[in-house]
Amino acid sequence: MSVIGLGYVGLPLAVEFAKEGYQIVGVDLDREKVRLLNEGISYIPDIPTEEVKPLVESGLLCATSDYSVLKDVDAISICVPTPLRKTKDPDMSFIIAAAEEIAKYCHPGLLIVLESTTYPGTTDELIIPSIVKNGFKLGEDVFVCFSPERIDPGNQKYHVRNTPKIIGGATPDCTEVAVALYTKAIDRVVPVSSTRSAEMVKLLENTFRSVNIGLVNEMAVMCDKLDVDVWEVIDAASTKPFGFMTFYPGPGLGGHCIPIDPLYLSWKLKTLNYNARFIELASEVNSNMPVYVVDKVVDALNAVRKSVNGSKILVLGVAYKKDINDIRESPSLDVIRLLEERGAEISYHDPYIPDLAHEGMDLKSVNLTADLLQNADCVVIVTDHSNIDYGWIANEAEIIVDSRNALKNIEAPHAQIIKL
C-alpha cells in the first residue's frame, strides 16, 4: 500500500496500517521528510518517533520521492494539500499532479482513495478521468473512492483508529473494496452512496464548526458592546442539557480545515449561481477577529496614555491552536502583522514554534522572564498553550489582552486584564 503525502494526515494513516502488518511505502516530494522517516524519525508531534522507528526497522514502513513504486502496490491513499489561492478558489494542483503520476503506473486491481479535503465533484472530475483514460473500467479493473480525513492535530482522545471513517465509492464495488481495506486499521467504517456524498460530509462538518464559531465570535462582540462577560454567558448556557452545543470565541480561525474547507463549498456553489450566505458571513466575521483583538490592544494602551506606535507588545502563542506546532492560517500571524503595521515592536513566545519566518516576518521565540513581562507595554494571549504559567504572567505583566480566556479564575490584582 502507498500513501501519497506524508504530512499530518498521511503519516498517521501510514503508521496505523503498518502497525497492522501492511507494507507501506510513503511518497512525498519533500526529501527531508523522506530522509527523516527512513531513519525512523517522526516529524509529526502526534506520532512519536518511538512508534515509527520499529515499523521502519521491520521493513513495514518506508518513504521515497519516486512515484514509480506505485506500480507494485495494491492500494493508494492520496493525502496531499488542498490550499486556497489568494482569490479564495481551491488550488487543485497537488491533486492533479498526484492523479497524473498514478495514471502512469495504474494497473488492474488497484484501489485509489482520495482523502484530501476538497469540493464535491473533485473525485469525479479530477481523479477518475486520469485513471480511466487508459481503458480501465471503474469497479472492475480499478477502484476509486473518496474518504475524508478527520485528523485533529493535538487531540489526545481521537486519532486515526478510533475516529469513524467515511467512504464513498465511484461504484458500489469500489466502496466494498475500500471498506474491506480500511476496516483492517479503523475501528468503524461508514459507507455512503457516492464520492460526492463523502466529499460533502467533510464540508458539512467543518462548515458547521465555522458557522457556529462565527456566531459565538459575533456574540463576543455584542456582549462587549452590552458590557456583558461572554465567557460567563457561555458557561451558563452550557448547563442546558439539550438544544445547546458549546463553542468559544477567539482571535480568529486557523489550521488546515475550518478557515478553508467551507470556502471550497462556497466556491463550487458560485459556479452553480448560488451564494452560500452562511459560509460567507461566518468567514467575514471570523476573518475580522484579529482586527478586533488589535483594536482591544489599541484601546488598552490608549487607556494608559500610550500609543501602539513604539509600544513593546509580547504575543503569547503563534500556533493556530494550543499545544501543537502548526502555524497554518494562524490568527496570530494577522495579529502580529496588524500590530507591526501600526508601529508596534513585536516579540513572541511559543514553546512549539522556535522560529517564525512567514510572509516577510522573521522572528524568534523569546524566553519568558519577569523582566520581559514587566517591560512589555502589553501582553496579548493569542494561543493558550497548556505549559505556560498564566498565573505568573498575570502577576508580572501590566496590561494583558486575553483572547482565549486563559486567565479564567486567576487573580491579577496588579494587572489590567482585557478579555475578548
What secondary structure letter does DSSP report for 137? Answer: P
How high is the pLDDT of residue 360? Answer: 85
- What contacts 257, CB < 8 A, 6 or more positions away? 117, 206
How far apart are alpha carbons 134 and 112 in whole angstroms?
A: 15
**pTM value?**
0.92
Digit-coded pLDDT (tens) for 239-260: 999 999 999 999 999 987 888 9
Reply yes or no on domain 288-419 having CATH 2.60.40.10.
no
- What contacts 365, CB < 8 A, 6 or more positions away? 348, 349, 350, 351, 353, 354, 355, 356
- What contacts 165, CB < 8 A, 6 or more positions away? 147, 150, 182, 186, 188, 189, 190
Residues spanned by CATH 3.40.50.720 within the chain? Answer: 2-193, 288-419
147 within 8 A of 165, measured Cβ to Cβ: yes
How far apart are alpha carbons 267 and 279 in whole angstroms?
A: 10
345 within 8 A of 313, measured Cβ to Cβ: yes
What top-level class would CATH report for the domain 2-193?
A: alpha beta
- Which residue is listed with cell 465533484? 121
- The torsion of the CA quartet 131, 18, 206, 288, rounded to 10 degrees, works out to -110
> Exposure of 381 by Cβ count < 10 A (0-12 exposed, 13-18 middle, 19+ buried)?
buried
> Exposure of 233 by Cβ count < 10 A (0-12 exposed, 13-18 middle, 19+ buried)?
middle
257 catalytic residue (yes or no): yes
Q: Catalytic one among 145, 223, 257, 378? A: 257
Digit-coded pLDDT (tens) for 128-184: 999 999 899 999 999 999 999 999 988 999 999 999 999 999 999 999 999 999 999
Give the chain's residues under pLDDT 50: none
Report how far apart the first and last C-alpha atoms of the chain are (Å, whole number). Answer: 48
Residues spanned by CATH 1.10.1040.10 within the chain? Answer: 202-286
β-strand pairing of 111-114 with 75-78: parallel
Does residue 361 sit in helix, strand or coil? strand
How high is the pLDDT of residue 370? Answer: 96
C-alpha cell at 349: 513566545
Reply yes or no on domain 202-286 having CATH 1.10.1040.10.
yes
β-strand pairing of 361-364 with 355-358: antiparallel
